[in-house]
Amino acid sequence: MFAIGNLLEAISYILRISINFLQISIIISVIMSFLVPYYSKIRAFFDGVSDIILNPIRRYLPVHAGPFDLSPAIAILVLIFLDRFLIQTLFDIASRLG
């Protein structure tokens, strides 16, 4: 059973790193939208990464507060929930198995 526990722990770490990278990408994308011109390759990279989660939110929940798009805030809240609930549950299951 310890092998399954180790596998779940490794999957949990990979998922946690991925979620943290998405959160950082969204924050950088929002900051760069105010500071950097759109034709920048760095901005295009972070926009592309953050659009993975932002586009579905924008499609199903068109949330705007005046000229501001609130979908990055919603995306970060969803990612925090996934990290604190689902991934932490995987860690707990892994610790009980191994």
33-50, pLDDT tens digit by residue? 888 877 889 999 999 999
The yes-or-no verdict on residue 51 having pLDDT over 80 is yes
Q: Is the dihedral of CA 55, 61, 62, 63 positive or negative?
A: negative
Q: Which domain holds residue 6?
A: 2-97
Contact 2, 97 (CB under 8 A): yes
Domain count, the chain: 1
54-98, pLDDT tens digit by residue? 999 989 888 777 788 889 999 999 999 999 999 999 989 988 987
Contact 7, 31 (CB under 8 A): no
